[in-house]
Amino acid sequence: MLRKYKIKELKELSSKRLFLRFVYLVAVFSAIVIISSSLLMRKILSDIPSIDKLDEYTPSLTTYVYDVNEEIIAELSIERRAFLPLNKIPVDLQNAIIAMEDHDFFKHWGISPRGIMRALMRDIMHRRAAQGGSTITQQLSKLIFLKPEKTITRKIKEMFLSIQIERNFSKQEILQMYLNQIYWGGGVYGVRAAAKLYFDKDVSEMTLADCSLLAGLVALPERYSPFKDEKKAKHRRSLVLKRMEDREYITREEREDTLREPVPTEKSSIFTVRAPYFVEHIRRKMTAKYGSAQLWKGGMKIYTTLDMGIQKVAEEEMEKQLKYRDEEQAKYVLNNSTPDNPLSTATLQGSFIMLDVKTGAIRAMIGGRDYKKSEFNRATQSKRQAGSTFKPFVWMSALMSAYTPVTMVEDSQMAFYYDGKDWRLLEGATDTYSIDLAIQPFVGNKDFKIWVPSNYGDNFMGRITLRRALELSRNLVSVYLVNRVGPTLVVDVAHKAGIKSYLAPVPSVGLGTSLVTNLEMANSFGTFANSGIHTDPFSVIKVVNAQGKILESHIPREEERFSPQNCYVLLNMMKGVVERGTGGYVRRLRRPIAGKTGTSQESKDLWFIGMTPDYVAAGWVGYDDYSFPTLKHWTGGGMVAPWWTAIMKKALKDKPISDFFMPPDIVLVTVDPTTGKLALPTCRKRFLEAFVKDTEPQEFCDAEH
């Protein structure tokens, strides 16, 4: 009996020991699981970002570039984005987003367990990685803080962040951040940019149809884009409207009416960069001043001087004319090119600059014909020979040296030799025979250099007035004047007017042989048109940061460089270039225009620069490879002046006709244009000429007519 009892007791004792051992193992396993889970969660959450950063979070914003009329001409951004407060976002869009993305948004505390389980079951059935089931708050935490990977780890982080965001921000603040952060396709972020891209509207102008279309894009913006598949976009919009009706955000009638509205099929033109050479000019300046990060991410507003109306006209007219000239050249090459004499088939290039005379503001800038093919800005970066457009600097030097419009000057043959230090005039060599005779002793001497300038057409007019020489662009008169007043003075005048490039002080400087930019030439002529007051050209009126603070604003700096009297006399002579000279095509504008044509050596550079009291505009045409046209009739007056005139006709159509300001101490005297002396009743041609007071002629015409 005792034996049996002990055996039973032993069995019970053994059972207790087994149970205790099991409990111990369970406890140890649970502890290991808990510790492991804790360590795993600690590791997962160790690098979770602090939501404190959300208070300071600044998304990458778009920088807008405006023209002078505050029309957007370009957007500079890594991500096209603009921030908008919630009260500026239509309620229809808010409701559409909530209906589609998170209908319990105002009820949950950051995550939706029901949504997560529903998404998990769907993913298990379809055997895919966990996805979906995200609340708006979860989507926001993922967009701002996390990488777009589909992993359990990221999902856990997302949920923890969402809970923290909900504890620290109101629902309205979360929805506002979400609507400004979400990607809408087409490279745009935020509702403001989306409204511009899809509808070319301000957000406040969006209709229910617009709002429902945008809400349908959120899940897969590229797939449901109306620009790619109109049917899918309409189907997606109808789904959004049905959800909105089910949630009682809209009525059945509103849904049915909206379904009948079309969807956009073309992107807004606002996302096409206009005036690309000018925009690139602005980008370079702003990058140098504020840095790339501020320019591309800072959401600045850059208000520029460009007039998009004039710019568009200028681009169209220049391209039309140069395309025609390319075709003209191609026909000539086709008919005249031979294997022994291949002719160039390069594409013509051109540039155009238009400035406000009073301020120096750039109103138009064309740096070439196709920015996509070549980003090189021929208006600001290319240095070319100015040709005869340089002559006004010579004529201004002459006026400053006691010459007048009726001073008689020599349009005769001449030659220069180089003595090792300077170029000197061959005295007495005034015709081909005497020039050949003078240089005979030096033929074969490698150290001896000679320069024999010539006129276009190789003809000579003898003694003519200073005015007539400018009107007809006589090269030899320009060389004669440079030799008389000195090349150093001519260079100094050009630099004072606005030329910044180096100019060689040699006799040929008056023929525009030095290299200059189009912008320099336009700015320099503008100094003359502004009565001798120089202002530097500028392109930015003001820059405002994303917070509305003005970072810079331009104040034109004026500096008197020449007397207003000499400038008026020069302008009056330059008006004759248009009225009776090489720029005759421009007469079609039927208003006072002072201008100068230019054709450099072998017609490699063709120019026309013209001025009104309001604007100065410079046009250039040539080949990038410095080849010369085979069509000899191509000149600045015949090639550039026509499209320059077409541009200015439209640019000036609303401007009243006005003449240049006549300063005090200018007298008008009737002269004989041939002799330059006071006209008599017997003179066949009489001309009313302008003079600085006390420089007018005193002698009467003594020629027999």
Which sign does the torsion angle of CA 489, 490, 494, 500 carry?
negative
Is the model more confident about 193 or about 395? 395
pLDDT score for 210: 95
Residue 499 lies in a domain: no
Query: Which amino acid type is present at position 484?
Result: R
Tokens 């926001």 -> residue: 140
List the 449-451 sheet strands across, edge first. 423-425, 416-418, 449-451
Is the model more confident about 443 or about 311? 311
pLDDT score for 124: 54
Q: Averaged over 111-116, what is the pLDDT?
A: 68
Write the pLDDT tens digit of every residue in 444-475: 677 778 888 888 878 899 999 999 999 999 99
What CA dihedral angle connects 146, 150, 151 and 157, to 10 degrees?
30
Write the pLDDT tens digit of every residue in 40-92: 445 444 455 555 555 555 567 889 999 999 999 988 876 667 778 999 999 99
**533 strand-pairing partners:** 560
Quick one: 12 and 123 in the same domain? no
Quick one: 37 and 154 in the same domain? no
Write the pLDDT tens digit of every residue in 265-289: 887 766 667 899 999 999 999 999 9
> Measuring CA to CA, which residue among 593, 76, 561 is closest to residue 298?
76
> Measuring CA to CA, which residue among 387, 565, 392 is closest to residue 466?
392
Residue 188's SS3 state is strand
pLDDT score for 440: 76
Residue 543 lies in a domain: no
Phi, psi of 23 (to 5 degrees): -60, -40
Write the pLDDT tens digit of every residue in 214-255: 999 998 998 999 999 999 999 999 999 999 999 999 999 999
Residue 84, CA atoms < 13 Å, CB-side half-sphere: 23
CA distance 107 to 100: 15
Quick one: 133 and 220 in the same domain? yes
DSSP letter string, 274-311: PSHHHHHHHHHHHHHHH-HHHHHHB--EEEE---HHHH
CA distance 473 to 196: 53
Non-local CB neighbours of 464 within 8 Å, separated by 6+ positions: 408, 409, 411, 474, 477
- At 544, the pLDDT band (50, 70, 90 cuts) reads very high
pLDDT score for 569: 98
- Residue 142, Cα to own-chain centre: how many angstroms? 36
pLDDT score for 671: 96
Instruction: Please check whether residue 198 is in contact with residue 185, taking contact to mean a CB–CB distance below 8 angstroms.
Output: no
Q: Averaged over 20-28, what is the pLDDT?
A: 63
Res. 526: pLDDT tops 70: yes
The CA–CA distances, whole Å, from 331 to 67, 602, 621, 639 equal: 40, 20, 19, 17
Strand pairing report for 594-599 and 183-185:
unpaired
The burial class, CB within 10 Å (0-12 / 13-18 / 19+), for 302 is buried
- At 704, the pLDDT band (50, 70, 90 cuts) reads confident
Res. 207: pLDDT tops 50: yes
Instruction: Please check whether residue 355 is in contact with residue 615, taking contact to mean a CB–CB distance below 8 angstroms.
Output: yes
Query: Which amino acid type is present at position 560?
Result: E
Query: Which amino acid type is present at position 301?
Result: K
CA distance 50 to 164: 9
Non-local CB neighbours of 240 within 8 Å, separated by 6+ positions: 96, 99, 100, 212, 213, 215, 216
Quick one: 138 and 199 in the same domain? yes
Residue 164 lies in a domain: yes
Percent pLDDT > 70 in the chain is: 84
Quick one: 168 and 38 in the same domain? no
Tokens (6 digits) for 308: 């998009």
- Last-in-domain residue among 271, 303, 324: 271
CA distance 138 to 679: 92
- At 527, the pLDDT band (50, 70, 90 cuts) reads very high
Quick one: 171 and 129 in the same domain? yes
Non-local CB neighbours of 334 within 8 Å, separated by 6+ positions: none
Query: Which amino acid type is present at position 82?
Result: A
Residue 103 lies in a domain: yes
Region of poorest pLDDT, from 363-367, 403-407, 559-563, 678-682: 678-682
pLDDT score for 19: 63
pLDDT score for 523: 98
Write the pLDDT tens digit of every residue in 480-520: 999 999 999 999 999 999 999 999 999 999 999 999 999 99
The CA–CA distances, whole Å, from 424 to 415, 489, 502 equal: 9, 17, 22
Write the pLDDT tens digit of every residue in 639-663: 999 999 999 999 999 899 999 999 9
Query: Which amino acid type is present at position 388?
Result: S
Q: Count CB neighbours of 37 within 10 A.
A: 10
The two counts, helices (H) then strands (E), for the chain are: 22, 24
Strand pairing report for 384-385 and 362-366:
unpaired
Quick one: 168 and 34 in the same domain? no
pLDDT score for 510: 94
- Last-in-domain residue among 215, 241, 271: 271
Residue 350's SS3 state is strand
Phi, psi of 202 (to 5 degrees): -75, 155
Instruction: Please check whether residue 295 is in contact with residue 63, taking contact to mean a CB–CB distance below 8 angstroms.
Output: yes
Strand pairing report for 449-451 and 416-418:
antiparallel
Tokens (6 digits) for 149: 């990977």
CA distance 218 to 96: 11
Q: Averaged over 603-612, what is the pLDDT?
A: 95
Quick one: 11 and 83 in the same domain? no
Quick one: 176 and 250 in the same domain? yes
> Measuring CA to CA, which residue among 386, 689, 660, 665 is closest to residue 526?
660
Average pLDDT, the chain: 86
> pTM (2 decimals)?
0.77
- Strand blocks (E) in 63-130: 63-66, 72-76, 80-81
Instruction: Please check whether residue 190 is in contact with residue 82, taking contact to mean a CB–CB distance below 8 angstroms.
Output: yes
Residue 246 lies in a domain: yes
Angular region, 89: left φ>0, alpha ψ -120 to 50, beta rest: beta
Res. 478: pLDDT tops 90: yes
Residue 526 lies in a domain: no
CA distance 2 to 524: 129
What CA dihedral angle connects 459, 464, 469 and 471, to 10 degrees?
-100
Quick one: 14 and 131 in the same domain? no
DSSP letter string, 374-415: ----TTTT--EE-GGGGHHHHHHHHHTTT--TT-EEEES---
Quick one: 102 and 31 in the same domain? no
Non-local CB neighbours of 234 within 8 Å, separated by 6+ positions: 226, 263
Non-local CB neighbours of 544 within 8 Å, separated by 6+ positions: 300, 301, 303, 550, 551
Which CATH number covers residue 151?
A: 1.10.3810.10
- Report the number of distinct structural domains present in the chain: 3
Instruction: Please check whether residue 94 is in contact with residue 175, taking contact to mean a CB–CB distance below 8 angstroms.
Output: yes
Tokens (6 digits) for 596: 């100068």
pLDDT score for 115: 61
- Last-in-domain residue among 240, 271, 302: 271
Quick one: 37 and 109 in the same domain? no
> Measuring CA to CA, which residue among 462, 507, 461 is closest to residue 485?
507
> Measuring CA to CA, which residue among 95, 67, 568 is closest to residue 270?
67
pLDDT score for 48: 54
Res. 530: pLDDT tops 70: yes
Write the pLDDT tens digit of every residue in 344-396: 678 999 999 999 999 999 999 999 999 988 989 999 999 999 999 999 999 99
Instruction: Please check whether residue 499 is in contact with residue 386, taking contact to mean a CB–CB distance below 8 angstroms.
Output: no
Residue 39 lies in a domain: yes
Strand pairing report for 533-534 and 80-81:
unpaired
Task: Work out the angle at residue 97's Cα, subtended by the Cα atoms of residues 94 and 99, and round it to the nearest 5 degrees.
Answer: 105
Instruction: Please check whether residue 647 is in contact with residue 314, taking contact to mean a CB–CB distance below 8 angstroms.
Output: yes
pLDDT score for 454: 87
Helix 208-217 vs helix 191-199: crossing angle, to nearest 10: 110
Residue 238 lies in a domain: yes
Domain that holds residue 150: 79-271
Which sign does the torsion angle of CA 524, 529, 533, 537 carry?
negative
